[in-house]
Every structure is written in structure tokens, then in C-alpha cells.
Amino acid sequence: MKKIFILCLALTLTVFTVKGICADTDVKIKQLTADSKSHGLGIFDAWSGDDEWIVYACGPNHLNDLIEKVSTKTGEIVTLYKIDNQTEYGPGCGTPSYCPTQDKVVFIHGPRNFGPDQKYEFWRRSAAVIREPDYNRPVFIDARDVTSPFTPGALRGGTHCHEWSHDGEWVAFTYNDMIMAELEKKTGRTLDLRTIGVSANIKPVDVDEDSAGENFDGEWFSVQLVEVVPDPEPGSDEISRAYENCWVGYEGYTDKNGKTQRAVAFKGKVVDNTGREVPEIFIVDIPDDIQADSSAHPLEGTENKMPSPPLGTKWRRLTYTADRKYPGLTVDPRFWLRTSPKGDKIFFLARDDNGINQIYYVLSLGGPIVQVTSQATDVMSTPSISSDGGRICYICEGCVYVTEISGMRTFRVTNPAEKPASSPIWSNSGDRIAFNRAVEGSGGRFLQIFITEPF
């Protein structure tokens, strides 16, 4: 791996002013990147803990070969991780996220053994962590063991969309199982069922080597959190897919008994009484000891069964939307759940009675669904919540919008452009927003990063 190098862009940061919908709202926008490659913001925690840097992946998809960060003050660009042997089969990297407590970044890393028969797949990827000053020495946190007997604390597939917990000691992810994917090919049944899990910095996990190079050790202990089934019973809370999850809160969440609890909210795909698949919101409370299991439900799974959640893991359903005119959560656009800083509200997209995507929330302990936005056209992004929990930003009409949750005052932050804005993310201080927009440049259009001045 090459040593770290710093590229100082010889560009003048572009600053311009946008007049908001409200006459008293003037927001200045600054373009941070301008070189001829795409700078894709991830879903979670693009800002460093001190808001000095923004991290992103370079390229159009998971077969990116470069992770960088850009200074929010000067536009200086630093290479964090570079794959020198990138091919069409792998390894690839993408969707980086900053740890809130330390100068380290987690991101998707594709297969280290790659080729025509071992290409990048949903079930062949893992979490890599890089940190100052050893950016060129990634640490792989989730172990992988795809040869029986399997290993507790190791997974049998691939993880992605990694999100740090508030203390930086846990990482949540979505998961696809390689053993079930191979069994699906043999049986023709739908068994490659996406679910969610966590890795915890409690102990390393060593696995046996295999001739194909599919197995590898991990520095953290990893488990699956939610059971999924191929054919949920109509009208039940059984889930065929758990996905697009987020940690519940960043300042602490207490369960129904008042106990401080680690928890993850997720979309769960159920089947309603008419036989229709509908995504609903669920929450899973994570036990303190994720190493405990039972002989009937081993953490590591079997050749015919997915890994089981730790003993004491509990999940429950929060939304029941069958009686709405448009049941379920929004499917298009794809979005991730987000929570308020205190963990009391879970935000999501759903269609109103006019069929328009709006932002709603439901309390993490349960309750009625509350509508937040009332836009005339679709909300088109994952919502992002400010650090004080008072404001939410999102994309509508190709522009960045902000809605103040308490008074529901809404204003537009950016003007319409030929190419819409995307991926808005609040800074940790809650006074700035970063977002992407495609800009014409040398060699074509590339995603560039913009930020607002404090407002």
C-alpha cells in the first residue's frame, strides 16, 4: 500500500448566496471539491467529529478504489485509502463513515480474494476501519467463516452500510449470508434473506484457514440480530427482510422498563392479510452479552440455517400501516431510517393520502405516526436530523430543504439546478449541511461536495 499523500487542490472555493422561500433566509453555499472524479457522500456520519473534514468515496459504485476526505475550511484533499489492484471483480470499497469519538473511518471493503469466480457480491464484503495516522493499514473488524463447523462471533457472508454507535465501540450493519445464497442456488428457494447485525469491540475472532481464501479473522465480535424467514405468515409480524437500519439515538435510549439500552431500528418486510409485501418499522433491543446463545440456536448458524441472534435479543414492531391509503413505508426512493439524538423518534418516508412522499416519525417506544413535512412534491432522500433534534433536512424538487420540527416551518436552502442535489447530511454542530450535486467538468459530469455556511 502506498504511503499517505496529501493533494492540495489549486482551486478557489466557490461561495454563493441562495435566497430561501422565507424572505429573511439567506444561506451561503460553498463548493468543496472540483476535480474530475465523483465524490459520493455516504449515508451516515460524513462529517468528522470536529466538523473539520468530510469523508467520501470516489467513483460510481462499490467497485470504487479510493476513499478521501476534504477540509471544510480550505478544500485540501487527503487520500485515506487507495486500492492499487482494483479490477472489475473486486475488491472495491465505499460508503465511508466517521467515528463520532475518534479519528477513524469505517467503510465497505470487497473480497481480498477476487477473480472471475470470486467476484464482489453482497455476501463477499466486510467492514474495514482506518485511523490516523495508519490510514494505509486497514483493520478488518468482522471475521468470516464459510466452512463448517462455523465459528461463534464470525459471520458467513457480507456486511455493508456500516454505522458507528455513539461511543465508537460498536458498528451496526446489514448482512447477506453466503451459505444461504449457495443453498438457494441448489434448491431454488429464496433463502438469501437480508438481515441486520452488529460488531462489538470486545474480543478478536480467529477462524480456520480454507483453501479458497474465503475465511479471515476479525478484530471484533459480530452477530446477527434479527431472524428472517422465507415465507412470512400473512398478517403476522414475521419478517422476510430486515434492512436500511440505524442506531436508535445518540444520547441514550431507554426501553419500556426504563433501562438504558442499545437498540437498532430497521425496516422489516412483512406480508399483510391480502398477501402483499409491506415494509414496516421495527426496533431490536440488544442484550448486554452478545456472546450468549443456546445449543438449539447457535450464533454461528448451521449448514441449513442462518446464524441466530444472541440470547435475550428482542425485537418489536412499531408501525401498522395496513389501514392507510398507501400502506407501508416508501419504496422509491430508497432511504434509511434515522433517529432523533435522544432516540425518542424514528424518522422515515411514507406516502400521504395524495400519494406524495413525506417525512414522518414514530416514537421508539410506540405510538401514532406523526407527519412532519407537507410538501407538494415527493421528498426524495434519507432525512437527516440536526444534533439538537430540532431541524430536519432533505431533498425535494432537487433542492435542499429544512423543516423545523416543532413549528413545522419549512424553507428552501438551495435553488433549483439542472442536476438535483442529493445526500444532505447535517454537521455534528447542527449549523451546516453537506450535500452532493453533479457538476459539469473536464471529462463529464461528476458528483461534487457542497456545504452551507453556518445558519
Query: Distance from CA of residue 38 to its chain's centroid?
Result: 19
Residue 136 has a pLDDT of 79
Confirm if 387 and 380 have CB atoms less than 8 A apart: no
Report the C-alpha gap between 225 and 241 in whole angstroms: 12
Q: Classify the C-alpha dihedral 321-323-324-326 as positive or negative.
A: positive
Residue 249 has a pLDDT of 67
What is the 3-state secondary structure of the chain?
CCCCCEECCCCCCEEEEEECCCCCCEEEEEECCCCCCCEECCCCCCECCCCCEEEEEECCCCCECEEEEEECCCCCEEEEEECCCCECCECCEEEEEECCCCCEEEEEECCCCCECCECCECCECEEEEEECCCCCCCEECECECCCCCCCCCCECEEEEEEEECCCCCEEEEEEEEHHHHHHHHHHCCCCCCCEEEEEECCCCECCCCCCCCCCECECEEEEECCCCCCCCCCCCCCCCEEEEEEECCCCCCECCCCCECEEEEEEEEEECCCCCEEEEEEEEEECCCCCCCECCECCCCECCECCCCCCCCEEEECCCCCCCCCCCCCCCCCCCCEECCCCCEEEEEEECCCCCEEEEEEECCCCCCEECCCCCCCECCCCEECCCCCEEEEEECCEEEEEECCCCEEEECCCCCCCCEEEEEECCCCCCEEEEEEEEECCEEEEEEEEECCC
pLDDT at 22 over 50: no
Q: What is the pLDDT of the chain when averaged over all its residues?
A: 90
pLDDT at 312 over 60: yes
Query: In whole angstroms, how large is the CA radius of gyration of the chain?
Result: 22
pLDDT at 9 over 90: no
Residue 251 has a pLDDT of 56
β-strands 139-140, 157-164: how paired? unpaired
pLDDT at 171 over 50: yes
Q: What does the pLDDT look like over 83-126, one tens digit per residue?
A: 998 999 999 999 999 999 999 999 999 998 899 989 999 999 99
Beta partners for 411? 402
Residue 429 has a pLDDT of 96
Report the C-alpha gap between 17 and 238 in whole angstroms: 50
Q: What does the pLDDT look like over 257-271, one tens digit per residue?
A: 777 889 999 999 999
CATH dotted code for 6-12+34-385: 2.130.10
Grade residue 131 by pLDDT with cuts at 50, 70 and 90. very high
Confirm if 385 and 373 have CB atoms less than 8 A apart: no
Q: Classify the C-alpha dihedral 110-113-115-117 as positive or negative.
A: negative
Residue 343 has a pLDDT of 92
Grade residue 295 by pLDDT with cuts at 50, 70 and 90. confident
Confirm if 404 and 443 have CB atoms less than 8 A apart: no
Residue 155 has a pLDDT of 97
pLDDT at 194 over 50: yes
Is the pTM higher than 0.85? Answer: yes
C-alpha cell at 222: 459480530
Q: Where are the domains of the chain?
A: 6-12+34-385
Report the C-alpha gap between 142 and 199 in whole angstroms: 7
Mean pLDDT on 288-309: 94
Q: What's the N-to-C CA distance of the chain in angstroms? A: 41
Residue 57 has a pLDDT of 96
